[in-house]
Structure 1
Amino acid sequence: MRVAPKEIQSFRDDFTYSNSAEAIERFPFPFAEDEYRYSVNMEPHLPKGGEGSAYEHFLDIDEHYLSEMAERELVLKEMPHRCLAMPHMDLACWDMVERIMVSLSEDYPDYFSLIRDGDHWSWENKLLNIKDQFTFGDSSSLPMPPLDYIGRQMQGDFALLDQREGDLFLDAGIITCPADWSLAFDAGMSFKEWHGPVPMAHGEGIFERALKYLIAIPVGKPVRRLNWTLTVNARMDTSPEKYHEWGHERTSVTPENVGEKVYLRVELQVLDRMPRSNAMMFSIRTYLLSLEDLVTNKEWAVRMHRAMKTLPEPLINYKGLTRFHGTVVDYLAQFDPVN
């Protein structure tokens, strides 16, 4: 499937967001086994799945591009602090500009164009009607700071992790569609501090092994993993800052509306070493799929039922599923011949 962006749909209020049949087919389903256990589950970020796959290119652009960019503008207009970069991360931000512009122009030439003449760059984003010339490395030559500028043109959230003292620190990012975490709160934290709330992992040394693995990632060898949760309604911004708007929705799930209201929320997380700054670009590309769309794939319906049925209680609580987990399991059970 090529880009073919749909007209702008809403991730709030009337929730007009929907997936086409093609979007359902290419959804990055996260469950490889009938039981889910928390793991790092890293693999090289290489093309997989053929043309149209969510893994076809380094950065995935799909039919929801315009909708997600409109949502990002709404969030940043109300809360500009959702984009921040500490002063020492300036070079890392320019690293990110280059990585994204080169990738998009090479992988989606019908929509993005980049011409480089030394430090003089010309960039065009036809989807958003953006056409700018700037001097690479000179923030004054862009209409806004580099992280803000390129982040408003990309689906998914981006964090830039500074590597020092044998650790990774969250020192820059543009985060407008997080799954219940806050950039303002986590900014400056180390890798272990950032992941402190995750249960069933610390005692097994998962994060220690993960950190050792991540700080050894070389330039040109990005890695990826899938993370998931369930969310109520097609809401991208489930940040703590907006909890008053979405928290109560967890109580609205019933046996009658669960297929429509509950969404499998999957993050395609990619970590990529930046060549100039040695920082790590951490992209968090979010996909939403309602349960009623998910069960059109019978294999997914069975697998998800079994994964949900055996989900450990600490993970149910951590992922915020307590109020509606049983309703989800009961709904999925009807699609599983062995339950």
Structure 2
Amino acid sequence: MPEPLPPPLLVNSDETILRFPYPFPEDSYMYSFNVEPHTPSARVESMRAAFDSDEHYLTECRQKARILAEDPRRCLILPHMEQAQWDFLELAMTSLAADYPHHFSLERNGGHWRWINRLLDIDHAFTFGDPAGFDEAPFRFIARQMQGDMVLLDQRDNTLWMDAGMVTGAADWSLKFDVGMSFHQWHAPVPKAHELGVFDRALRYLLMVRHEHPVRRLNWTMTVNPWLDTSTENYTIWGPDRATVTLDDVADRVHLRVELQALFRLPRSHALAFSIRTYLLPLRDIVRVPKWRARLHRVLRDLDPALSTYKGLDLYRQVTVKFLSRYDDGTPLSPGIQHDATGLV
């Protein structure tokens, strides 16, 4: 009897449920904005909360703390983002306390607040809006207690500016390089998208995101070995891995990397909070779902060369395609992201 597959989760080789937001890149177009309202979704567990917190919480928070200790400039906040910091702190604390009350709680008595994080043993009382209640920036205080990267985008002059953030798990980019850049400037390296008008349309949409109406989208790339921190700063650590993948080890070393990105309008500063939660899944688990392995094979096989280079796939894309080709018999696939599986292979 085939193993049951509870949609939309994957199951790895030791039968542990992986909380993976499974939408794969469609193979019929080069770019998709794929934005939807960021409301609780019964289909995907990782999308049920404003900020996903899961069984990897302690590991990822410890990794974030280590990276920040080694390189404090992984968290940068421009001076004019003071109000946005407090907006974000309120959003994060109220969301985490509402979505995970067994781990987090927030007590508010007027301006006197008490934040409790049971997972990290934090019990902190402060006055909202008063920086004297913290030994660090309010944004840094709460962002280091969250999984994923957090960026604050100031809105002015009809565009968005990356003016604050804590980024310890970037997919080959650097906050230190991008901080202070406008929306079109930090997206400048993306091939063909500007000529196609992709970012013009995306910016017009994002400028109209409303308070209490957050949106989300998915982005994808691939990573060799399960590195969350593939930042430009650490390229000498993870970059050489891309030239060492073989057909014998590709199933375990090459990972699909999916980013669940959410954007929240902040009420006082009118800035946008941009969260990036990253999930990794090795090919060995992907090939257990017939539609996913065929879809991924076709996407990588037919990927525009410019996009392959931009995503850093060139050194191992062909060996990955060769591995996946054995699992794709050319059968037409249903549209959409559902797995269409009754069990695992």
TM-score scaled by length of structure 2: 0.90
Cα separation, 2, equivalents of 1:338 and 1:282: 38
Residue 34 of structure 2, aligned match among 30, 37, 41: 41
- Alignment of 1:232 onto 2:224: yes
Residue 69 of structure 1, aligned match among 61, 75, 80: 61
- Alignment of 1:217 onto 2:209: yes
- Alignment of 1:330 onto 2:322: yes
- Alignment of 1:122 onto 2:108: no
Q: Are the equivalent residues in 2 in contact too, given 1:35–1:306 (CA < 8 A)?
A: no
**1:331 positional shift:** 1.1
* Unmatched tracts of structure 2, length 5 or more: 1-11, 332-345
SS of 2:83's equivalent? helix
SS of 1:124's equivalent? strand
Q: Letter of the 1:183 partner, please give it.
A: L
Cα separation, 1, equivalents of 2:95 and 2:116: 13
Residue 111 of structure 1, aligned match among 85, 103, 119: 103
Cα separation, 1, equivalents of 2:223 and 2:150: 20
Describe how 1:209-288 pairs up with structure 2 within 5 A: 209-288=201-280
What residue is the counterpart of 1:11 in the other structure? none
Q: Are the equivalent residues in 2 in contact too, given 1:36–1:307 (CA < 8 A)?
A: no
* Unmatched tracts of structure 1, length 5 or more: 1-17
What residue is the counterpart of 1:297 in the other structure? 289
Cα separation, 2, equivalents of 1:48 and 1:303: 23
SS of 2:188's equivalent? coil
Cα distance, 1:32–1:194 mapped onto 2, change above 3 Å: closer
Cα distance, 1:290–1:148 mapped onto 2, change above 3 Å: same
Q: Alpha-carbon deviations, 1:93-136, whole Å to 9, x = none? A: 11111101101111111100000011110111111111111111
**1:236 positional shift:** 1.0
Q: Are the equivalent residues in 1 in contact too, given 2:25–2:220 (CA < 8 A)?
A: no
Residue 199 of structure 1, aligned match among 191, 194, 199: 191
Q: Letter of the 2:131 partner, please give it.
A: S
Q: Are the equivalent residues in 2 in contact too, given 1:23–1:63 (CA < 8 A)?
A: no
**1:204 positional shift:** 1.0
Cα separation, 2, equivalents of 1:21 and 1:210: 39
Cα distance, 1:36–1:257 mapped onto 2, change above 3 Å: farther
Q: Are the equivalent residues in 2 in contact too, given 1:301–1:332 (CA < 8 A)?
A: yes
Q: Are the equivalent residues in 2 in contact too, given 1:114–1:122 (CA < 8 A)?
A: yes
Cα separation, 2, equivalents of 1:19 and 1:85: 42
Describe how 1:132-143 pairs up with structure 2 within 5 A: 132-143=124-135
Cα separation, 2, equivalents of 1:244 and 1:20: 32
Q: Alpha-carbon deviations, 1:8-59, whole Å to 9, x = none? A: xxxxxxxxxx9974543x3112326344522222111112234x61111111
Describe how 1:117-196 pairs up with structure 2 within 5 A: 117-196=109-188
- Alignment of 1:318 onto 2:310: yes
Cα separation, 1, equivalents of 2:289 and 2:121: 37
What residue is the counterpart of 1:84 in the other structure? 76
Q: Are the equivalent residues in 1 in contact too, given 2:25–2:299 (CA < 8 A)?
A: no
